[in-house]
Chains A and B, each alone.
Chain A
């Protein structure tokens, strides 16, 4: 039997007095009634499993037992009214105020945790996202709200309790149970954190909600028994919560399993994972995996597929590309990630301590607060030499609270080479030092990343492609201004007509300021023409022609931005003084038909980005049918005529075209495996070229080592023509930087380029028509008859020679040549440091100001000056 505490005994004594008072004069035996009621209380306590009866519980029980109703002695005796009875007795139902402890743990604590997480996304950033969808948010918000409603209802005086009350309590029990299990691994950490640091309550919230939910349920059961109502089962609500969470988690779980498979080391499992994700994967989940840290023990999929390998951000980004065909940073982050709090967490991950890309060679994701605020391109086309020099000046502003690194990949004009780099330090221009690629990158990383001073670095990142990076763009509105110069040959169709493409941004980690346009100014002595919707034509006082316009980013890369030049004087041979004393550089523009080819191997990228170009590609391929031997494959990870059990398969063009229309372009494909096979096939059949028609390659899927080896060892016998159907980053070309690759410039449709190439293979190589050489000055007898031009032809000569030296494995000589001539090549880079001390420390020397190119080129100014003087002298003689 339950033990009565002193407070209970005192309570009973008080009740006994009231009881005797109430039954005075009735026929009932007061002592018997008191004894019966006491026995009833003991039975009640026994029924609830109580071993101790305390004052509170007894008061509640007696309150529920209700008013003493005095039996009538006679029918005529009036009973006291209910109202008067109520005055003498305690309320008929339970407790007056809500229990503080339960309110705190079942309502206040969970509410505060949900609000804090929604605002800060702390757990999401550090561990995993507990509320990946609005449904999850709704379920978690419902826990404190439901608990509060249940508590309030249980304290009402009504005899009955609505059916939803037990359902809500048990449902919340289910929700908090699942989350307690998810947070179980960090529960001990939370406890320790509270003890030692005074925080960690967030991690313990689910457990607290679960325990308080169980207390709530027990109280509810007691209440039901006290009111003699049927006690309902806890399980329906509990399992409904589990079921609902399971339904919510299932798409995510399926995606996570697919992600695990797609990240497997086994090729067959990888392919299955990618197929699985394309079929039933949830893009939002994939995208979140690209941003979040590995889920480790919180990832149920790891247990299901029995894999301990973590799916890192890098892995997830690769898989995201394979599945969707788009780079992860080309789309908005998932909804919940765009909240301020969440973005802050991501900022830290991507731009400071956790920024793996800082100082590295990848552009990586966009960072908030950093934007390009000004951009101008100034180009001078030198008619005689058919060369163009472009200076691109960029200004950045950083409104975030952390210093940022601006990174961008720039597509150069075909055949172009960076020949100048400038950084503004405290309003003054500082020129770059040129050195080996490793030397300049080491200097940049030491000065920028470690010491956080002001450097800018330019290196190549593929054929006709550079990576520009500068750090730090100061926080809180700080700015940074840089400029780089590009020397490029014109693409000459004959002696009197040439074409030119502007450089363009391929990939960037910064935003463009609202409505920012690139200010373009192109001038030349000769007639220039360009698309009317992009450029205006002007004549300048000195007789120069100018094309100018304000171009948005996508215009720069569009074939419409091609500028055409007329060259009525059709100069064939020009010269300039060489850097080496007593020598000159000769350049001859010569159109000799190159040997045509009747064999080729073609790889078509099977990625989804190519689907909109299918018709254009088909047309171009049909044009190739005039060639004798053409083999072709479409890169695909699906079982197809071009993929037999995961192995690339090439077909003769005619047969391949029969399958072309049925082919489904999907996801992002591994092109490297196909290029490798294409290379071997070209070697086997004696072809000197491989064509690759591709879309953007933002993620390197395969391993490029074997292909690099083949490209290096075949010594230029085979050239890869890479024709990009759509602008964008290309990790494959980056990986193959500098090795017998020709990026096909997009002046016109790919079919037109292919047709022209079939007739004249040399047409794609801008350098093919130019012959440049260094000769002793005194050995050139007709020098006075030839136009003298700017030093740009020497830079192009040096770049050509560097390539030849490198291909013949004379790396040191090639590096020295490029450094001496201040060029950014696959072997060399350019870096601007803040002070002379930093240059000296890094073993670098900034180039003298008089040796850098500019607009107009100093040599040209000198020529103009000499020409003007000569003209004046002649005029004076005549007079």
Chain B
């Protein structure tokens, strides 16, 4: 049971991780370190830096996010990420799809009772 649940959470986490990254960038641009730390702090997401950076690279290649480098007076140069228009459309679609899924699942739960 535990193995099954662990495996299931891995699948859920992976499925939702990209949406979480896009959501984190929805309101403002964030530099990599800040973004990663905020995602690492999300309970249950179980994400590490090793997971986030390859995903950011992939999302950038898909044109959902864009990045720029900026010198920082407090430390090393920072790479800021922000959503592109495609990214905003994608998050809207993903959100709508997720809500549909949750709604359907709730309907199933009610029928079950």
Residues of A within 8 A of B (CB): 1, 23, 26-29, 32-33, 36-37, 39-40, 42-44, 46-47, 64-72, 79, 82, 89, 92, 228
Contact = CB atoms under 8 A, between A and B. Distances in A.
Nearest to B77: A39
Contacts of B53: 28, 33, 36-37, 40
Interface string B15-40: 00000000000000000110011001
A228 B58 contact: no
Interface in B50-68: 50-51, 53-58, 60-62
A68 B55 CA distance: 10
A224 to B, nearest CB: 12
B57 A33 contact: yes
Contacts of B55: 28, 69, 71
Contact of A37 (B10, B49, B58, B62): B49
Given A46-B76, A228-B37, A65 B61 contact: no
Interface of B: 10, 14, 32-33, 36-37, 40-41, 48-51, 53-58, 60-62, 74-79
A687 B62 CA distance: 122
B76 A28 contact: no
Given A39-B77, A66-B49, A67-B50, 18 more contacts: A26-B54, A27-B58, A27-B62, A28-B55, A28-B57, A28-B61, A32-B57, A36-B32, A36-B57, A40-B36, A43-B33, A44-B33, A65-B49, A68-B54, A69-B54, A71-B54, A71-B58, A92-B48
Contact of B50 (A29, A65, A79): A65
A71 B61 CA distance: 12
A304 B51 CA distance: 61
B10 A82 contact: yes
A39 B58 contact: no
Contact of B74 (A26, A28, A46, A67): A46
9 contacts: A28-B54, A28-B61, A33-B57, A40-B33, A43-B75, A64-B48, A66-B50, A68-B51, A69-B54
A564 to B, nearest CB: 96
Nearest to B81: A36
Nearest to A73: B58
A27 B76 contact: no
A46 B51 contact: no
Contacts of A28: 53-55, 57-58, 61
Contacts of B60: 29, 32
A65 B33 CA distance: 12
Nearest to A159: B46
A1 B48 contact: no
Nearest to B41: A228
Nearest to B42: A228
- Residue of A1, A47, A71, A82 contacting most chain B CB atoms (<10 Å): A71
Contacts of A27: 57-58, 61-62
For the complex of A and B, 7 pairs with smallest distance between CB atoms = A66-B48, A46-B75, A43-B33, A69-B51, A28-B57, A28-B54, A65-B49
Given A1-B75, A29-B61, A228-B40, A40 B49 contact: yes
**Which of B40, B51, B54, B56 is most buried by chain A, counting CB atoms within 10 A of its CB?**
B54
Nearest to A72: B14
B8 to A, nearest CB: 13
B77 to A, nearest CB: 7
B80 to A, nearest CB: 12
B49 A42 contact: no
A359 B85 CA distance: 103
Contacts of A29: 57, 60-61
Nearest to A92: B48
> Which among A43, A46, A47 has the greatest number of chain B C-beta atoms within 10 A?
A43
Contacts of B58: 26-28, 71
B50 A69 contact: yes
A606 to B, nearest CB: 74
A42 B36 CA distance: 14
A65 B56 contact: no
Nearest to B11: A79
Nearest to A43: B33
Contacts of A44: 33
A75 B79 CA distance: 29
B76 A42 contact: yes
Contacts of A42: 75-76
Contacts of B77: 39
A40 B76 CA distance: 9
A578 to B, nearest CB: 112
Q: Which of B33, B40, B50, B57 has the most CB of A within 10 A?
A: B50
Q: Residue among B14, B55, B61 with the most chain A CB within 10 A?
A: B55
A40 B41 CA distance: 16
A1 B74 CA distance: 9
A27 B55 CA distance: 9
A23 B76 CA distance: 25
A32 B60 CA distance: 10
A363 B77 CA distance: 83
Contacts of A1: 75-76
Contacts of A67: 48, 50-51
Nearest to A67: B50
Contacts of A92: 48
Nearest to A65: B49
A838 to B, nearest CB: 89
A334 B73 CA distance: 64
A228 B37 CA distance: 7
B52 to A, nearest CB: 9
B54 A66 contact: no
A33 B54 contact: yes
Contacts of A89: 50
A72 B58 CA distance: 9
A228 B39 CA distance: 10
Contacts of B36: 40
A29 B41 CA distance: 25
A431 B62 CA distance: 118
Contacts of A26: 54, 58
A673 B40 CA distance: 82
Contacts of A46: 74-76
A209 B12 CA distance: 47
A598 B64 CA distance: 121
A82 B14 CA distance: 12
A43 B76 contact: yes
B32 to A, nearest CB: 6
A77 to B, nearest CB: 11
Contacts of B75: 1, 42-43, 46
B4 to A, nearest CB: 14
A37 B75 CA distance: 15
Contacts of A82: 10
A138 to B, nearest CB: 37
Nearest to B54: A28
B59 to A, nearest CB: 9
Nearest to A229: B41
Contacts of B14: 69, 72, 79
B69 to A, nearest CB: 9
A66 B53 CA distance: 12
Contacts of A65: 48-50
B103 to A, nearest CB: 22
Contacts of A69: 14, 48, 50-51, 54-55
Give the most central of A1, A40, A47, A72: most B CB within 10 Å.
A40
